[in-house]
Structure 1
Amino acid sequence: MSERLLKGIGVSPGIAIGPAVIVRSGLPEVPHRVVARTQVEKEVRRLRAAVRDVKRHIAELKARAEDRAGPDQARIFDAQVLMLEDREFLSGIANLIRENHLTAEKAFEFKVLEVRDLWAASRSARLKERLADLNGLAIRMIQHLMHRGDEDLERISRPSILVAREIGPGLTVQFDREQVIALVSEEGTKTSHAAILAHSMGMPAVMGLPAAVERIAAGAMLVVDGSQGTVLLDPTVEEIAAAQGRDTRRRELDLQMEAVVDQPAVTTDGQRIVLRGNVDLPDEIAEAQEHRAEGVGLLRTEFLITSHASLPTEDEQAAYFRRVGEAFPGHPVVVRTYDLGGDKFPAAFRAAPEANPFLGWRAIRVCLDQPDVFCTQIRAALRAAAHVNIQLMIPLVTRLEEVDVTREMVAHEAERLARAGIEAAKTVPVGVMVETPAAAVMADRLAEVADFLSVGTNDLTQYTLVVDRGNARLADRFTPHDPSVLRLLKLVANAARAAGKPASVCGEMASEPVPTPRCPPYGAKLP
């Protein structure tokens, strides 16, 4: 790779060309100063006043994010508000002020560093991703207490590309969209809050680019390709023209796709491809409808737990499943049972830390060990299935017994609902997510006990190539079209075809225009 072509993770598609503005938004240097005993309570009052002011500012940022990216993305700011409402966190800072006669800003800095060290040492990927929220809040609070603004952003006077070590969600929405045209950062992945906001705002972004701040000089001309995950330094006139040409073709393709959105998906050799939506949150239902999705191939349900302090009721889940089903009349909605564990353990579960959480107690293993939680979800699906086309899909299956036990639980709960006189379907199709090499190589056996198979290409790639898909340093090794992954795909497709069962593909691979043509020969549908 050329020394001028830097490789990171493309988290938001599109191409932008412009000068670099380097933002070194770390924690401000806070002088260590001891206050007089008579001034201690004044510092505590300064802390409380700053908390009120910063909460108001975050509310303004949230409103701006809602206007630019939608209400769901705006909820990203709730994490910072919750920290400012955490009594234990704030009491700890007040105690530092009182016991050590510190200024409010120094006490806040000490407390943040303590929490940051704890989170950084945690094995929870979810906590590590929240570090950006913590750092963003710390910078905001300390700058406010020290009466400082963000000088780096204030000096942007022409369309520029923002380059930083880490970009929090607040930074993403507070600048002028006409002046900041793309983002580049050393930290972050496709699932980081700033990446989600950038994608929703239609802003090209590349994250996980090592030493970006050191390798890119302020004012240097850049070509940022958020689709390829590349940053080109000091492009020539010819390279700029080529990038502009690629961007024009991408925009033309988008317009062409919009023009044919109502036409069926058929390959040039006449193969009909079923395209279904991949829905993570309720706000994504409308987008799937706009793209004429033929149902939902993967309806994630984790948000029902992770966004609430308590477990969702059977009624709440049944109503949600029915609502999604009614949005796609005549088409199936495949409900993936809770894929908890790894980086998605909610407060309702008190799980002990694990050395390797992505290889541990997660997904169907959690569900089978928590039958009350699992049966509530099964009952909700059965009740919704009395009105709409609902199917169940089990994540991270590695053993046939997991499918057998799940089917028994479905039959048992259907019987209970019938005895109670509650309107519900007698059964629902039960499918399997093929996400591990173990599941792929025994796909023929799984096809005998499951009603359908769906390949989760993100996890299948991760487990096959032994590559953490969230690790920026290994981004170039996470390749779903690797021959080893494609061979496993072929095994699954052949097994499904032999058993006469439907097979589909989901994950990033299903949305990429290059690898997908390799799937139809294997007989896979694309959700």
Structure 2
Amino acid sequence: MKGIPASPGFAVGPAVVLVIRERRPVKRMIGENEIPYEWNKFQAALDQARLELSELVRRLEEGGNAEQASIMEGQLYLIDDPEIVQGVSDRIQNERVSADFAVYETFGEVVKTLALIEDEYIRERIADLQDVKNRLLEQITGETDKAAALLTRPSILLAHDITPSMTAQLNKELVMGFVTEVGSRTSHTSIMARTFGIPAVVGCGEFLAGWSDGETVIVDGETGEVFQNPSEQQLAEYAKKQEAYARSKEELQAFKDIPAETIDGKRFGMYGNIGTPAEAAAVLESGGEGIGLFRSEFLFMDRAAMPSEEEQYAAYRAVLETMSGKPVIVRTLDVGGDKEIPYLPIGSEFNPFLGWRAIRYCLSDTALFKVQLRALLRASAHGDLRIMFPMISGEQEILDAKRLLDEARSELEAEGIAAAAGMPIGIMIEVPSAALVSDRLARHVDFFSIGTNDLIQYTLAADRMNEKVSYLYDSQHLAVLRLIRMVCENARKFNVHVGMCGEMAGDPQLVEILIGLGVEEFSMSAEQIPLVKKSVRSLSEEAARIRMTQTLE
């Protein structure tokens, strides 16, 4: 079988087919006198689920698994989401249905809404919703699925899906790897598998019917291949791969605390991308020198209303304190396009990727934008905070954003609230027009960060989420490379620092190209940092520049 490589490594062992029954409560109508009883059942289920998740978060935190704790903490917010609680209440009281059916229908409605959003990260939050739904239904009905906890020997789990909470509770000594029919690399389950070091392949399509417990299985977390009842030759081949992988992991540990410096002495910054405050710890553990991209929009998601200034301030401060003086670049709200936030009045657009999104929306909703800017300015007193504006296409947007930032600073000063002076301001270069006029934009900012995901799709007019044109989405297309070189050259002219935070930055095979183009900092997912460091230390900057000059002419 072939699936998506979700967590690296190789596993060889006996299969355990994990069958999790889909919970589909029968619609049961209730009388008026039963309404209080059903509502109390739901409230009791909320209380018990909250206790279970809080305990799970505590155990994960005590075990040093901050990132996993943050994922499960997100489910705690879902349990108390006012929109969900109100939806269940309305169905019990107005539609007169039982508590289990009310929960099933309410969560189903939210899932349908998220399934329409093209952003892969947002759609993967469906797994968290399903996880919470099942937990509540377990409490209401008393029926539980504990199959994964019944493992008695080291095994490889095969399942339709493995929920985030199940992954968090897996016995790491017994779970050698897992394979699922659905899922993607960005799902919380995949993230947790990578952090726990469990090889995993997801999104294989339907396969469970053809497997039995005890069959030998090989999981290749590098290629996404899965082998059923492999031959002796394949077993011998993967035994060697396991040994080599173990050696390479040990070798990568040596790169954690050393700089990313080429053989001719040029040093490059190694930073991490995060979406939540808890992820910052993983960046430090991987040898990151700072946060190159804090996607602040994730503070606005999975909730019924905008986070307050105080909530945002606490999140930004938490990251700064975790990083202990290391740089933290926060991207201001990047909403719209494929990132839909229901409580914001963006509405449906014919082409949302070219529409009212990111800085365009924030400049039109100055009240919302100022709340975020005030929170960032307040947090700047606690570390090296840097603000980055997304989706910039021309000079006026920078001037307008900086004017609002100055207004927010003046308001805070009038209130006697301190903010760091001289905080660096940067922009994302992800629109071709920004790259083409980067010499003009450089006059207004302290740094550029190239967002290659959007820059590639806009330059090549190829939707990166559309399988029919995915063959056109080429990170090494000559047009893309020339735009990156232009940005780097213009940045040098004005002494503006230039980094990269798109997927290209975390690809060890592209490091030489990016160094040759003039990129000075690389920001990526935490687990990629040692790999990119290793690649940098094997290269010559001078040779990379000469090679790229020849390539682009």
How does the TM-score come out when normalised to structure 2?
0.77
Change (3 A) 1:164 1:479: farther
Q: Distance in 1 between matches of 2:387 and 2:164?
A: 34
| One-letter amino acid of the structure 2 residue matched with residue 274 of structure 1 | G
* Among candidates 72, 75, 88, match of residue 74 of structure 1: 72
Q: Which moved more, 1:116-125 or 1:504-513?
A: 116-125
**Residues 45-54 or 222-231, more deviating:** 45-54
| Aligned counterparts of 2:225 and 2:31: Cα–Cα separation in 1 | 53
Q: Please identify, of 320-329 and 282-291, the stretch whose mean Cα deviation from structure 2 is larger.
A: 320-329
| CA gap 1:174/1:466 in 2 versus in 1, 3 angstroms | farther
Checking the alignment, whether the CA contact within 8 Å between 1:55 and 1:84 is kept in structure 2 is no
Q: Which residue of 1 aligns with 2:509?
A: 514
State the match for 2:17 in structure 1: 22
Contact persistence 1:54–1:141 (CA under 8 A): yes
44 and 502 in structure 1: CA distance in 2 versus 1, 3 angstrom threshold: closer
Contact residue 96 and residue 107 of structure 1 kept, 8 A: no
Q: Residue in 2 aligned with 1:312?
A: 308
- Bigger drift between 364-373 and 171-180 goes to 171-180
1:490 correspondence with 2:485: yes
Distance in structure 2 (CA, Å) of the matches to 1:384 and 1:137: 32
What residue is the counterpart of 1:402 in the other structure? Answer: 397
What is the letter of the counterpart of residue 514 of structure 1? Q
Cα pair distance change 1:470/1:76, threshold 3 Å: farther
* CA spacing shift, 1:444–1:208, aligned 2, 3 Å: farther
Q: Which one of 203, 207, 227 corresponds to residue 202 of structure 2?
A: 207
Give the deviation of 1:504 after TM superposition. Answer: 1.0
Worse-superposed segment, 382-391 or 294-303: 382-391
Is 1:11 the equivalent of 2:6? Answer: yes
Tell me which residue corresponds to 1:392: 387
Aligned to 1:88: 86
- Deviation, structure 1 residue 477: 7.9
Amino acid at match of 2:427: V
Letter in 2 for 1:204: P
Give, in whole Å, the separation in 2 of the partners of 1:385 and 1:49. 42
Distance (Å, rounded) in 1 between the aligned partners of 2:263 and 2:176? 37
Match of 1:443 among 438, 447, 451: 438
Matches within 5 A, 1:129-140: 129-140=124-135
Residue from 338, 357, 362 that aligns with 2:357:
362
Q: Secondary structure at the match of 1:27?
A: coil
- Tell me if structure 2 keeps the 8 A contact 1:123–1:355: no
Is there any run of 5+ residues in structure 1 with no aligned partner, and where? Answer: none
Q: What do residues 92-112 of structure 1 show as CA deviations (whole Å, max 9, x unaligned)?
A: 4424884xxx66555554555
Partner of 1:170 in structure 2? 165
Q: Is the 8 A contact 1:125 1:342 kept in 2?
A: no
Indicate the larger mover: 401-410 or 376-385: 376-385
- Pairwise CA distance, 1:520: 0.9
For 1:428, the equivalent position in structure 2 comes to 423
1:140-188 CA-to-partner distances (Å, cap 9, x unmatched) read: 4445555544375366443222233333212323443333222322332
Structure 1: distance between partners of 2:337 and 2:74: 20
Instruction: From the superposition, tell whether residues 273 and 12 of structure 1 become closer, same or farther in structure 2 (CA, over 3 Å).
Output: same
Deviation at 1:456, TM superposition (A): 1.7
Which whole-Å CA distance do the structure 1 matches of 2:411 and 2:100 have between them? Answer: 59
Please give the secondary structure, in 1, of the residue aligned with 2:270. Answer: coil
- Contact 1:11–1:226 under 8 Å retained in 2: yes
> 2:53 touches 2:72 (CA, 8 Å); kept in 1?
no
When residues 132 and 18 of structure 1 are mapped into structure 2, their CA distance, relative to the original with a 3 A threshold, is same
Cα-Cα RMSD: 4.2
Moved more, 159-168 or 133-142: 133-142
Output the CA distance in 2 between the equivalents of 1:45 and 1:321: 39
What are the within-5 Å matches in structure 2 for residues 222-371 of structure 1? 222-306=217-301, 309-313=305-309, 317=313, 320-321=316-317, 324=320, 327-329=323-325, 332-342=327-337, 344=339, 349-371=344-366
After superposition, give the CA deviation of every residue in 1:394-438 in whole Å (9 maximum; x if it has no partner).
112223321232234445555666677764455433222122344
Separation in 1 of the partners of 2:168 and 2:311?
36
CA 1:61–1:283 in structure 2 vs 1: closer, same or farther (change >3 Å)? closer
Tell me how far 1:523 sits from its aligned partner. Answer: 1.4
Q: 1:75 offset after TM fit, Å?
A: 0.7
Structure 1 length-normalised TM: 0.80
Aligned match of 2:546: none
8 Å Cα contact 1:83/1:89 also seen in 2: no
Equivalents in 1 of 2:101, 2:310: separation in Å? 48
Residue 454 (str. 1) matches residue 449 (str. 2): yes
What does residue 179 of structure 1 align with?
A: 174
Retained in 1: the 8 A contact 2:8–2:221? yes
Range with greater deviation from structure 2 (166-175 or 242-251):
242-251
Offset, 1:17: 2.1
Mean alpha-carbon deviation: is it higher for 205-214 or for 500-509?
Answer: 205-214
Could you tell me how far apart the structure 2 residues matched to 1:416 and 1:29 are?
53
Q: Quickly say closer, same or farther: Cα 1:320–1:307, change in 2 above 3 A.
A: farther
Change (3 A) 1:111 1:285: closer
- CA distance 1:457–1:230, shift in 2 (3 Å): farther
State the Cα deviation string for residues 315-338 of structure 1 (Å, max 9, x = none). 963994597179454x54323222
Where does the alignment leave 5 or more consecutive residues of structure 2 unmatched? 524-553
Give the conservation status (yes or no) of the 8 Å contact 2:121–2:186. Answer: no
Instruction: Give the equivalent residue in structure 2 for 1:221.
Output: 216
2:153 alignment counterpart? 158
Measure how far apart 1:296 and its partner are. 3.0
- The alpha-carbon deviation at position 196 of structure 1 amounts to 2.7
8 A contact 1:453–1:501 mirrored in 2: yes
Q: Name the % identity.
A: 33
Contact 1:385–1:424 at 8 Å: present in 2 too?
A: yes
Q: Partner residue of 1:196? A: 191
C-alpha distance 402-83 of structure 1, shift in aligned 2 (>3 A): closer
Cα–Cα, structure 1 residues 321 and 223, in superposed 2: closer, same or farther, change >3 Å? Answer: same
The whole-number CA distance in structure 2 between the counterparts of 1:151 and 1:326 is: 36
